[in-house]
Chains A and B, each alone.
Chain A
Amino acid sequence: MDTPSATPASRTFNVPATATSAEGAQTLIEIDNFDFYYGAKQALFDINIRIADKRVTAFIGPSGCGKSTLLRCLNRMNDLIDGTSVKRGSVKIRSIDINGRDVDSIELRKRVGMVFQKSNPFPKSIYENIIYGLRIQGVKSKSRLDEVVEKSLRGAALWDEVKDRLHESGLGLSGGQQQRLCIARTIAVEPEVILMDEPCSALDPIATAKVEELIHELKKQYTIIIVTHSMQQAARCSDQTAFFYMGKLIEFGETRDIFMNPKNPQTEAYVSGRFG
């Protein structure tokens, strides 16, 4: 992996050759004709997208384009905000409409985990942070918890760094470690999908590289959707990319195609750094 280039002038993208092709992958999430509102203000317009299983999908676009909103719709975190509503369309995961009446948002969130822009470890020990999700599900067995902690921390490539201080506060870790702790916490409950909302925006380049490496590892087991501001990041770690603008999905396709030969002029303008 090359070190990310920071200068916008030299926007050349290293699309990994290892990227698995979309063909053959199963569709996991189907979003059809989806409209979403904050109060009276429409935030998303007629979104249609098919997200593949066990792949990394990146949502890119300028600020306020609706990419984070769509991400938060996928595990219904928007329920927590006053006045939000789905007016039309559906989001289906494994053919189940997650906005359906019989769907429990709590159960949904156990299956669709989320990592936030600002790392938010709880002010508890690293160990307690990891097992939080299991604790609330009622898991009590000490051996099982220990096992999960090690597995999750290894999965998040954090085990070697923290194994000696599992019972120290999670707030004592560095920014990058905190974010990986949050990822470890998320995979501890074994979700199918991990949503990442600009997970690296507050991290330095080295910590970012580590998280990106981790994403590569994780996609073997999990479906990952990542919202990012950095196009390099999208190019480096995603298999598919969706470009949003003003609440509309402009273009969606293989990352290679989006960055190398975008079909839509707006996409081209954005990825070549002419706006946004």
Chain B
Amino acid sequence: MPPDINTAADTGEPSSKFAIQKKRTRLFGLTLDETIRVFFGGNALVAVIVLALITFFLFREGSQFFGQNRDSLRTYRLAGLEYVDIIRQQEEDHTALTRYLFDIRLKAVVQLTEQGIDAAEINRRLAAFDAFSERYSDTIVPIRGLVFELTEVATDIKTRYNENEDYKVARKNFLAAGMKAEADEITIKDLDFAKEIVAITGTVSAYEQINNEYADALKASVTVLPTLPVASLQPRLERFRELTREYLATFPGRLATLKAWDNNAPVKWTEAFTQFIFGTRWLTASFWQDWYGIIPLFVGSLMISCIALFIAVPLGVGAAIYVNQIASPMEQRLIKPAIEFISAIPSVVLGFFGIAVLGQALRALSQWEALSWVPGFPYSERLNALTAGCLLALIAVPTIFTLAEDAINNVPRAFKEASFALGASRMQTIVRIIVPASLSGIVSAVLLGLGRVMGETMVVLLCAGNRIAIPDFTAGFTAFLQPVHTMTGIIAQEMGEVVRGGIHYRALFVVGLVLFFIALLLNFLAQKIVRKYRISIG
């Protein structure tokens, strides 16, 4: 502002000598310094923008999933696949029962072999049981036939519907591109589901008849139970009869469901959500119906994290206490960088180590006689939740160690000195003063360690076994020795193979979104706990 100098000079004061007025060049009304400030501020904003963009792009790619999933479920219902699956469930339940029988036989064979009886003799003794077993298995044949036929029909309807939908899209694309002639060549035959579905629902009376016969046969087959050569297994057979009766009791309900089933019943929005959040099946690229249920993946992630934390928390916290309170300065100087060094081992290298060494080593360990008392030992799957969990523990340990050590270090010296001055031993001081005072810090360290483990990809992708199924928890500890798949692993594994924009692609983004929010939640909790702790100390 040039006039200012003049006015100042006008007052007659010797102020022209004391020139402190602004005379800087301006760019869009900002001085150079302000411009720089804005530039740096803009850079700081990048962190916010990136976080917003992550949220935005995950939502952008994932948001249409629920709509597509709803469409998929609607087709599933309209084309009668759902109807067929109701009957199929009955078949599968039957298969489960026959598996129970098979299990009894296996146990009998094992026990008889232990008694020193040879195979031929065992087979002879089990002949009655085998005959019973076969009779039982055969009862399902008519139902199975029906399911087979209906599957064909339903698949046909679905395929025709999907083809038609594809034509519609193609036609629209042609029209959009202004290629009318090509568009007209495509004939669209809209499917009349109400007419088509008759081929499926029309079989209900046939089903009823077959089902009655099946029920009778089943009932008849279990009226007389064979006597087993191993008396101790007889109660299991009794239990089997019990189960069969329970199974039979579900028949009327199933029939009612089938009769009431309507292929036009609307698919609610909530169903698309619940199918994802509570769905127990993650089944993709199937000829029948794709399912996107996150539960098996979530359970897998959670299980591996539990194993990892189970190992890493005692080790990490123990080491933190040791290094901070007990170790000699020399040890401290060596151990801290060493553990930091471990944190630098890339996860993919750890994963490779799991495949190449640890998997086999753990399996060999499980086959060691002296450890056969451990539930689940010996096991045969080299890559499973335990292998992945052990390696993830090594990833979580440095995080937990560093943060826990920090927390312990932040306990004011005065607390420790006061405790010593009162005659407490080192042990008492640690247990009664140091650990309680740093507890919230340690807890938040564990939470951040959990976040680290949950988000880890390469180790689980390489070492968890990648079987998409909820482990069988009825077997107790053995569940932790089964191969699982994880949320991170599924994204890494399937992202490269999916069609962009397809439902599967979008489902993976939604899984990413779930991971993102789990990470934010864990972070939030950890911060909250730390903040609380600061107030209590201050």
Say whether A and B bind each other. yes
Write out the residue numbers on chain A whose beta carbons fall within 8 Å of the beta carbon of B202: none
Contact A107 B11 (CB under 8 A): no
* Chain A residues in the interface with B (C-beta under 8 A): 93-96, 98, 102-104, 106-108, 111, 192
Max count, chain B CB within 10 A of own CB: residue among A103, A107, A192: A107
Contact B1 A94 (CB under 8 A): no
Q: How far is the CB of A102 from chain B (nearest CB, A)?
A: 5
Partner of B18, one of A102, A104, A106, A192: A192
Size bracket of the B interface: 10 to 19
Report the separation of the CA atoms of residues A111 and B13 in the bound assembly, to the nearest whole angstrom: 17
Write out the residue numbers on chain A whose beta carbons fall within 8 Å of the beta carbon of B11: 95
Q: Using A96-B8, A102-B22 as known contacts, list a sample of 10 further A-B pairs with CB atoms less than 8 Å apart, ordered by residue number in A.
A: A94-B13, A96-B21, A102-B1, A102-B21, A103-B20, A103-B21, A104-B24, A107-B22, A108-B20, A192-B18
Write out the residue numbers on chain A whose beta carbons fall within 8 Å of the beta carbon of B14: 94
Contact B15 A104 (CB under 8 A): no
Write out the residue numbers on chain B whose beta carbons fall within 8 Å of the beta carbon of A106: 33
Write out the residue numbers on chain A whose beta carbons fall within 8 Å of the beta carbon of B17: 94
Write out the residue numbers on chain A whose beta carbons fall within 8 Å of the beta carbon of B15: 94-96
Write out the residue numbers on chain B whose beta carbons fall within 8 Å of the beta carbon of A111: 18, 20
Write out the residue numbers on chain A whose beta carbons fall within 8 Å of the beta carbon of B4: 102
Evaluate whether A104 and B23 lie within 8 angstroms (CB atoms) in the complex, with A93-B18, A96-B18, A192-B18 already known: yes
Write out the residue numbers on chain B whose beta carbons fall within 8 Å of the beta carbon of A96: 8, 15, 18, 20-21
Q: How far is the CB of A171 from chain B (nearest CB, A)?
A: 28
CB closest chain-A residue, reference B11: A95
Q: How far is the CB of B16 from chain A (nearest CB, A)?
A: 9
| B1-39 interface (Cβ within 8 A of A) | 1, 4, 8, 11, 13-15, 17-24, 33
| B140-176 interface (Cβ within 8 A of A) | none
Q: How far is the CB of A82 from chain B (nearest CB, A)?
A: 15
Report the separation of the CA atoms of residues A96 and B19 in the bound assembly, to the nearest whole angstrom: 9
Write out the residue numbers on chain A whose beta carbons fall within 8 Å of the beta carbon of B22: 102-104, 107
Report the separation of the CA atoms of residues A33 and B20 in the bound assembly, to the nearest whole angstrom: 22
Write out the residue numbers on chain A whose beta carbons fall within 8 Å of the beta carbon of B21: 96, 102-104, 107
CB closest chain-B residue, reference A112: B20
29 A-B contacts (beta carbon < 8 Å): A93-B18, A94-B13, A94-B14, A94-B15, A94-B18, A95-B11, A95-B13, A95-B15, A96-B15, A96-B18, A96-B20, A98-B20, A102-B1, A102-B4, A102-B21, A103-B20, A103-B21, A103-B22, A104-B20, A104-B21, A104-B23, A104-B24, A106-B33, A107-B19, A107-B21, A107-B22, A108-B20, A111-B18, A192-B18
Write out the residue numbers on chain B whose beta carbons fall within 8 Å of the beta carbon of A192: 18
Report the separation of the CA atoms of residues A214 and B195 in the bound assembly, to the nearest whole angstrom: 108
Report the separation of the CA atoms of residues A111 and B21 in the bound assembly, to the nearest whole angstrom: 11
Report the separation of the CA atoms of residues A242 and B301 in the bound assembly, to the nearest whole angstrom: 72
Max count, chain A CB within 10 A of own CB: residue among B1, B4, B22: B22
Write out the residue numbers on chain A whose beta carbons fall within 8 Å of the beta carbon of B23: 104, 107
Report the separation of the CA atoms of residues A201 and B19 in the bound assembly, to the nearest whole angstrom: 33
CB-CB nearest 4 A-B residue pairs = A94-B18, A104-B22, A107-B20, A95-B13
CB closest chain-A residue, reference B8: A96
Write out the residue numbers on chain B whose beta carbons fall within 8 Å of the beta carbon of A108: 20
Partner of A95, one of B1, B8, B19, B33: B8
Write out the residue numbers on chain A whose beta carbons fall within 8 Å of the beta carbon of B24: 104
Max count, chain B CB within 10 A of own CB: residue among A103, A104, A106: A104
Write out the residue numbers on chain A whose beta carbons fall within 8 Å of the beta carbon of B33: 106
CB closest chain-A residue, reference B3: A102
Q: How far is the CB of B122 from chain A (nearest CB, A)?
A: 87
Report the separation of the CA atoms of residues A22 and B19 in the bound assembly, to the nearest whole angstrom: 26
Report the separation of the CA atoms of residues A140 and B345 in the bound assembly, to the nearest whole angstrom: 51
Q: How far is the CB of A133 from chain B (nearest CB, A)?
A: 15
Report the separation of the CA atoms of residues A265 and B15 in the bound assembly, to the nearest whole angstrom: 39
Report the separation of the CA atoms of residues A96 and B20 in the bound assembly, to the nearest whole angstrom: 9
CB closest chain-B residue, reference A103: B20
Report the separation of the CA atoms of residues A106 and B23 in the bound assembly, to the nearest whole angstrom: 11
CB closest chain-B residue, reference A192: B18
Max count, chain A CB within 10 A of own CB: residue among B13, B19, B20: B20
Q: How far is the CB of A16 from chain B (nearest CB, A)?
A: 29
Report the separation of the CA atoms of residues A92 and B23 in the bound assembly, to the nearest whole angstrom: 19
Report the separation of the CA atoms of residues A93 and B23 in the bound assembly, to the nearest whole angstrom: 18
Report the separation of the CA atoms of residues A262 and B97 in the bound assembly, to the nearest whole angstrom: 107
Report the separation of the CA atoms of residues A98 and B22 in the bound assembly, to the nearest whole angstrom: 11
Report the separation of the CA atoms of residues A102 and B23 in the bound assembly, to the nearest whole angstrom: 9
Report the separation of the CA atoms of residues A103 and B24 in the bound assembly, to the nearest whole angstrom: 11
| B380-422 interface (Cβ within 8 A of A) | none
Q: How far is the CB of B2 from chain A (nearest CB, A)?
A: 10
Report the separation of the CA atoms of residues A106 and B22 in the bound assembly, to the nearest whole angstrom: 9
Write out the residue numbers on chain B whose beta carbons fall within 8 Å of the beta carbon of A93: 18, 20
Q: How far is the CB of B36 from chain A (nearest CB, A)?
A: 13
Write out the residue numbers on chain B whose beta carbons fall within 8 Å of the beta carbon of A104: 20-24
Report the separation of the CA atoms of residues A192 and B8 in the bound assembly, to the nearest whole angstrom: 18
Q: How far is the CB of A188 from chain B (nearest CB, A)?
A: 19
Max count, chain B CB within 10 A of own CB: residue among A102, A103, A108: A102
Interface string of B189-207 (1 = CB under 8 A from A): 0000000000000000000
Q: How far is the CB of B18 from chain A (nearest CB, A)?
A: 4
